[in-house]
Amino acid sequence: MKNVVVLGAGMVGTGTALALQARGFSVVLVDRSAPGSETSYGNAGVIQGEACEPYSLPRDIKTLCRIAFKDDNSVDWDVAGLWRSAPSLVSYWRHSAPNYHRTLGAQYSTLARRATHDHARWIAASGAETLIRRDGYRIAFRDGAAFELQTRQAERLRDLYGIEFEREESATLAAAEPALRQPLVGAIHWRDAWTCSDPGALVRAYSALFEKQGGELLKVELLGFEPSAIGWKLRSSEGTFDTEHVVVALGPWAPQALAPLGYKVEMVRKRGYHLHFDYPTDESVPRLNLPLLDAAFGAIYSPMRAGLRIATGADLSATSNCQPRQLRRAEAAARELLDIGEPIEKSPWTGVRPCMPDMMPVVGAAPRHRGLWFNFGHGHQGFTLGPTTGELLADAMSKGSAHTISSLAPSRLFN
């Protein structure tokens, strides 16, 4: 019998399985899909070592009005989606207050600053070096005032956390990215981030390493789980099996999985979209060098093995949109800047970011059940932080739950 079952084979679950395996646990990794084929597949491919503060909700009137009138492409919404998420959004709003957010950064930064280090171990061991670049990404600006504001923000983060960045004026940016068809005001080049040309392939490389080292990967549909005399009994589409410990690393599906056990998990579900576009057929036309976040349109353009990936911001709508407004605007904006071809897929990919209202992931022992552990709620940073929170949880499971960072502990959510 495997003594740990990890539910969810995205970056968080796979990173957790590897960390537990390294500490001598016998682990089986369970998912309905292939590793890295759902939420972990769809991101912009950036391991954000510079992201020392989580994404907060805007609180200034100007930005809120732009969002309300759908003039800000970084956020979309509908009435049904806002109503469904209202309790979580209110809590999210409260935790986004400047004083709280600054306090949060002191805790959150301890995760972000070790993210590339924690990935490096598994990148090397899995032979995935060809997927990784270590020279950062850019946020580019069309508006001078926005560029100056972001520069001040970057300076603040540098002074607080030691993050490296370069302010690139228009000419410097044009020289660094000759693919740009028109001049921009400038860019912030974040140096502490790494980028990945195929996020799904990186998770698959990690999971292949897990199997090579003796781990078991089980592709089944989870039907439920409950306490048993041994520990836990899991019911799946392929039958039932027992385990001593269960780790819930199911991202946006964690609340649904935990509800039968009496855990009501408030979560803000931010949908995102992406679509790949052909590179220019003329080899003399330069391609984008590093991922570039177009600040004016809340979209990021990432050079991937599959093509140029255009990825969007947050959609709070109740249902997914087959032709999302955000992606249409982002494509039009990208075509102003870059030579890109036709879409490669027939329809956009869509997935959900699991955002906790207090912006901290949930990592540690379940407060009401022995042998049940949580590792979910990473918001925009599951791809970045999966190996890091996996290490933290593995420490808690091998050394005792007191080793979990208190601000991440599940007990904070349940009275």
Domain that holds residue 260: 1-56+99-128+197-266+357-415
Residues 109-137: pLDDT tens digits?
999 999 999 999 999 999 999 999 999 99
The mean of the pLDDT values for the chain is: 95
Say if residues 270 and 316 touch (Cβ distance below 8 Å). Answer: yes
The three-state secondary structure class of 366 is: coil
Give the CA diameter of the chain.
68
292 lies in some domain: no
105 lies in some domain: yes
228 lies in some domain: yes
140 lies in some domain: no
* φ, ψ of residue 124 in degrees (nearest 5): -65, -45
154 lies in some domain: no
Phi-psi region of 239 (alpha: psi -120 to 50; beta: other; left: phi over 0): left
135 lies in some domain: no
* φ, ψ of residue 209 in degrees (nearest 5): -65, -45
pTM across the whole model:
0.96
* In the predicted structure, residue 183 carries a pLDDT above the cut 80: yes
Worst-scoring range by mean pLDDT, 60-64, 151-155, 265-269, 338-342? Answer: 60-64
Averaged over 242-253, what is the pLDDT? Answer: 97
Given pLDDT bands bounded at 50, 70 and 90, which one contains residue 138?
very high
Residues 25-52: pLDDT tens digits?
999 999 999 999 999 999 999 999 999 9
In the chain, the number of structural domains is 1
Residues 284-299: pLDDT tens digits?
899 999 999 999 999 9
Identify the pLDDT of residue 405. Answer: 76
Residues 304-339: pLDDT tens digits?
999 999 999 999 999 887 779 999 999 999 999 999
Among the listed residues 114, 93, 99, 106, the one whose alpha carbon sits nearest the alpha carbon of residue 48 = 114
Residues 344-390: pLDDT tens digits?
999 999 999 999 999 999 999 999 999 999 999 999 999 999 999 99
- Rounded to whole angstroms, how far apart are CA atoms 355 and 377? 5
Among the listed residues 47, 21, 60, 35, the one whose alpha carbon sits nearest the alpha carbon of residue 219 = 35
CA 116 to chain centre: 14
Residues 186-233: pLDDT tens digits?
999 999 999 999 999 999 999 999 999 999 999 999 999 999 999 999
Identify the pLDDT of residue 2. Answer: 56
Cα 132-193-126 angle, rounded to 5 deg: 30
- Rounded to whole angstroms, how far apart are CA atoms 262 and 214? 34
279 lies in some domain: no
186 lies in some domain: no
Say if residues 21 and 6 touch (Cβ distance below 8 Å). Answer: no
Render 282-310 in DSSP notation, one character per residue.
STTSPPP-S-EEETTTTEEEEEETTEEEE
The enclosing domain of 114 has a CATH number of: 3.50.50.60
Rg (CA), the chain: 21
